[in-house]
Amino acid sequence: MLEWIAVVGLVVLLHGLLIAAYWTQPAAPAVQVNEMSISFASLQRQQAEVAPRPKAMPRPEPRDAVPLPAEAPAVKEQTPPAVPDATPPSPVVLDAEPDYRADYLNNPRPPYPLLARRMGYHGKVILNVEVLAEGKAGQVLLHQSCGHEMLDNAALQTVRMWRFTPARRLGQPVTQWFLVPIKFSLEGNAE
């Protein structure tokens, strides 16, 4: 019986030491939440190269008529069909490209999904946006994914509600496609 009391006492003592060690453990550091940062990159569109105009073929000059012997059959003179001028269409030149960064547009940044933030997801989403002449987003397509569907969807849903300054041709607003980059970053104020 004395051995049994010694074993129980030893077990109680060990449990007491474990509880004391747990209480004296330092507190875990507070979790720091970083702000999302979106930066917009300006993409320049390349002007289409105009193909050189083909040189016009010289027209054949009519020859002087040579009198033929009377026995020779008459030959009908064939004229080559007229070739229309092959002028390439001139490239469409816009007065102004679409703009989504104008101060008065007040476009909201896409929300950083909480689960994506917790999982440490970040990256750049590039969207192909059809900007209508009215300044609204028409079709919004995913041009390049950041690799995380949550971030892609957040960017798509937000940009669909944005307002734009439409492109202009000859002073009139026109529908135009262009690329909008959205950067999701876990670092504060990252560009």
Name residue 130's beta-bridge partners.
Answer: 177
Provide the whole-model pTM: 0.49
CA distance 133 to 7: 86
3-state secondary structure of 123: strand
How many CB atoms sit inside 10 A of residue 36's CB?
A: 20
Q: Which of 110, 99, 106 is nearest to 164 (CA)?
A: 99
Q: Which residue has the higher pLDDT, 147 or 27?
A: 147
Q: pLDDT band for position 148 (50/70/90)?
A: very high
Q: Which tens digits make up the pLDDT trace of 78-126?
A: 555 555 555 555 555 566 676 666 555 788 899 999 999 999 999 999 9
Residue 165 DSSP symbol: B
CA distance 163 to 99: 9
Q: Please check whether residue 133 is in contact with residue 140, taking contact to mean a CB–CB distance below 8 angstroms.
A: no
Hey, what amino acid is at 4? W
Cross-strand bridge partners of residue 140: 129
Q: What is the mean pLDDT of the chain?
A: 76
How large is the average pLDDT for residues 30-35?
A: 49
Sign of the four-CA dihedral 127, 133, 134, 135: positive
Which of the pair, 123 or 59, is modelled with greater confidence? 123
List phi, psi (to 5°) of 8: -65, -40
What is the per-residue pLDDT across 66-81, written as a single tens digit (0 to 9) for each?
555 555 445 555 555 5
Q: What is the pLDDT of residue 22?
A: 78
Architecture (CATH level 2) of domain 103-184: 2-Layer Sandwich (3.30)
**Do 150 and 116 meet the contact criterion of CB atoms below 8 Å apart?**
yes
